[in-house]
Structure formats: C-alpha cells, structure tokens
Amino acid sequence: MDSLGMPEGMAEVEGLISKIDECFSLGFSRLGSEQLEGLASVARVFSGTPLGERMKDAVEGLARAEFREEHFVSLAAARQSLQGAQYDALLDQAASKGVGFTRAAVNAPKKAEPIPEIATWMESSRQWLVEVALAGFMQVEQETVLPFVATLERLQQREEAARLAMLLSGVVHELFDCMPIGNMVHVPIRRWSDLWARAMISALDLPAYPESEEVSGALHLTGVDLRRHSHAMSAVFYGVLLPDDGAARHVRLTASGYKVDVLDDDELWQVLDETVFDALIEAYTRAKTLNIKGMRLLGSGDLIWDSSRAKIAAKSDVMSVAAQHINAPDTVLCDAMPLDRHPVQVAVPVYMGECEVKTSDDGALMLSSDGFSVELDAERGFMGGDLTKQFKGVDDCVGLLRYDGRWLFQPLVLSSKGKLTRQGQSATLKIKSSSSIGILKERASMLLRKKS
C-alpha cells in the first residue's frame, strides 16, 4: 500500500459547501449580495444535471425572499450531492493506493410505501427545518426548537421513522445543550449544516432499502464502532463474512437504542433488547464465529440481524481472517446508500501487520505498516490515554480508514502475542439492580404501579 493523499478536486468542492454553510450561519432571511452570489456559483456547478433547473429556481427564489420549502429541499439535495462526489473520490483514492477491496454498487432502492400520519409528522419536520434555516444557527433560540418537540416525540414512537427520529433527536438536544449559541467559543456550523441537509432529505419519504439477498456462511466479527449522543446509541459491528459460496465480503451489523445521558460506556449496551441481541453480543465478547443461514444482506453491506438464523460456533481466529481477507482485492466492499455518501461515512476496513507508531514532525501519531503510513484517529480511539503506550508491543491491528479533512485510522482491534483488545469486549446486556439503568427502570416501574 502507498501513502494516501488528497483526491483531486476536494478543495474546490469544500469551497462550494462553505458558501452554502455561510448562509446557514447567517440565516436565509438575512442573506446579502455576497451570499446570494455564492449560492449562484453553486447552482452553476449543477448546470446540465438533474438538479440544474431546481437549483437555479431556488437561488432566484431566495433572492426574491420566496422562502418555499422546495427551494430548501433543492439546497439540501445539492449539498448532499457535493459530499457524495467527495465520498466517491475518496474511495477511488483508497483503491488506487492499494487498500484492497472490490467495490460493489448499490442498486436503486424501491420507494417505501407512505404512512399518512408519519407523512404529516415528516411535513412538520421539514417546516421546522425551514424555520431553523431562516433564523440561522447563530440565532437559534429555545423558542425556535421547543414547538418541534411534540412532533419529535411522535416520530420516536414509530419504528418506521426510527432513522429520522434518531437524527432529529440528536439535532434538537445538541441545539438545546449549546444555547445560548452566541456564547460558544466555536460554533460547529459545518456539522449542523450536515445534519440539517440530511434531515431535510430524510424527512421527504420513509427510508427505502436496497434489494437484499439471503446469505449463509461463517461470520467473523472484527470490531465495533460505538456511537452515541445524549439520547441514543448505536453499536456498528464490522466483520468478514466467508459465504458458503462466492468471495469474502465486508459486512456491518447495527444495533441501536434510545438512552439517557447518565449512562456510562458499559451501561450503554444495556439499552439493547437482550432477547434480540444476546447471541450477537456473546459471539463478539467471546471472539466466536457466527454461523449464519439465510440471513438478509442488503446491497449496502448491512446484515439484518436475526438471532434465529445465527448459531455461535467455534473460536474465531480474528487476526488470521483479517490478514487473509481484509486487504484482499477480491473481498467485496459494498457501496453506501445514496443518502449515506458523505466523507464522514468513509469506513474502509484495513489490516495492518507488523505495525508501529511514531510521532511525525508536526506532532501527529502515525501508524506504519509495510511502507504504508496513516495518522491515528485519537478522537475515535476506544482506549483513551496515551496511544503510543497502548500500541507498544502490538503485532498487528484492524481498523477503519476514515477521512476528516485528512486520512485517519480508527483502531477496532489490537493484537499482542495473540491477545485481542477491542472496544466493548466486556459488554453485557444483563442489567444489574445497582446500575444506573437498573435504578431508572425500577423507579419507572414504581411510578407505573402507583398510577395503576
């Protein structure tokens, strides 16, 4: 593998996205000639594309102070498209530098059937997002957010709207936590604009999933990426599936749940349904192989977990499987869904053998293996503390190649003399009565008994 660099055109696309984000910071009800010219330059980039006329109409409408929902939908789609182009360029760059995988395209998903009451709440979500855009993130106050909470609570109660509800829950609570926004030292306009654009597109229709197939074979779980905000968590398991027939495949399994802010890292797991995920967690923590039969695999590489179709088998030689298959050119890496094509979603599994950590001239921690060097992602690391010490004595490791303005390596599993260190390796779904979640459940039960 060769060292990675910046794909051609990334800086130019960043400039276009910044022009859009400046409008979100200021507020679309306050745009001046400079901001409108910036939006016009974005619209010109889309000339001759399916978004060309829509973007032209949107910019002209905003210049006339016509704040129609369709104009903001067009802006969200344009912003998502620019980041989709970045995503494609980054994956192509990784492939060209010898990070082995075969990229498999996702077939266009069929549109999901609408559900009238959810469609009404999604419309309310879009209206609220327009109000936020008009105000501008620097001017958002509690009065802007509070009226939307009732709609959000309804969305949270419907499984069909879970992805949108999770996303909007994060947006709402993050905005509340940051108020008054004018007092913040650093306002994350880029992040909030990202979330806004994704939420606006997500609120158009219920999620449509790509075609699926039934797969059978041996699943080796390599690691988990634990994501959380104050009111929700997701554990994204990465693994290598050795099917009964065909090439090895990179796959993901996602387990999610709502939470409260007081839970620590060990207790996060206990918001998951034990009856659903017990076998998955047991196989991961005990480093066991999962034999799966007829489990659904989406075209995006996501396995739809079904415990009735999985059986815990023999010990998994995780690092041997990783060394043989993760960087192999014929191992299939599925493309992301259209809405997920964003630089932050770049997560290419990489195996690093005989690795070592050194400090670069500018103070960054660099992980090197066989001539390939990449900066360690200290923020996404699961161990905390001094990474140099934690990588001392490590023979090989598996992680995800990420991009955050530069290429980064997020470690998932370290191996030292055959001993594995992984995030969540002591996870349990068993709830102790003395734990925070156990106490909260008991108090909730007492409250319900009193009401009855």
Residues 424 and 444 in one domain: yes
Domain tally for the chain?
2
For residues 441 and 349, membership in a common domain is answered with: yes
Is residue 452 domain-shared with residue 309, that is, in the same domain?
yes
> For residue 126, how far is the Cα from the chain centroid?
21
Check whether residue 323 and residue 253 sit in a common domain.
yes
Residue 39 has pLDDT above 60, yes or no: yes
Strand ranges, E, within 71-211: 102-104
The reply to whether 154 and 47 lie within a common domain is yes
Do 196 and 335 have their domain in common?
no
Q: What is the pLDDT of residue 447?
A: 47
CB 317 within 8 A of CB 348: no
3-state secondary structure of 414: strand
Do both 129 and 256 map to the same domain?
A: no
Are 329 and 404 members of one domain?
A: yes
Domain with 363 in it: 209-452
The DSSP code sequence of 144-182 is HHGGGHHHHHHHHT-GGGHHHHHHHHHHHHHHHHH-SGG
On whether the CB atoms of residues 331 and 249 are closer than 8 A, the answer is yes
Q: Is residue 327 part of a domain?
A: yes
CA 74, 75, 78, 79 dihedral sign is negative
2: in domain: no
What average pLDDT does range 272-282 have in this prediction?
91
- How many CB atoms sit inside 10 A of residue 127's CB? 13
51-65, 70-84, 105-119, 353-367: which range is least confident on average? 105-119
Do 192 and 222 sit in the same domain of this protein?
A: no
- Indicate the SS3 state at residue 310: strand
User: Of 143, 168, 202, which residue constitutes the final position of a domain?
Assistant: 202
Q: Could you give the CA distance from residue 71 to residue 57 in angstroms, rounded to a whole number?
A: 7
Domain boundary among 162, 186, 202: 202
b/e per residue, 304-322, with b = 16+ CB within 10 A? ebeeebbeeeeebebbebb
Of the residues 202, 226, 253, which one is the last residue of a structural domain?
202
54 pLDDT more than 50: yes
Q: 53-62, 128-137, 220-229: lowest mean pLDDT where? A: 220-229
In a domain, 274, yes or no: yes
Q: By the 8 A CB rule, do 359 and 392 touch? A: no
pLDDT band at 198 (very low <50, low <70, confident <90, very high): very high
- Around Cβ 430, how many Cβ atoms within 10 Å? 11
Is the pLDDT assigned to residue 449 strictly greater than 50? no
- Per-residue pLDDT at 442 exceeds 90: no
Specify whether 293 is located in the same domain as 348: yes
pLDDT of 451 higher than 60: no
What mean pLDDT is predicted for residues 207-221?
Answer: 90
Is 233 in the same domain as 353?
Answer: yes
- Same domain, residue pair 166 and 230: no
pTM of the entire predicted model: 0.86
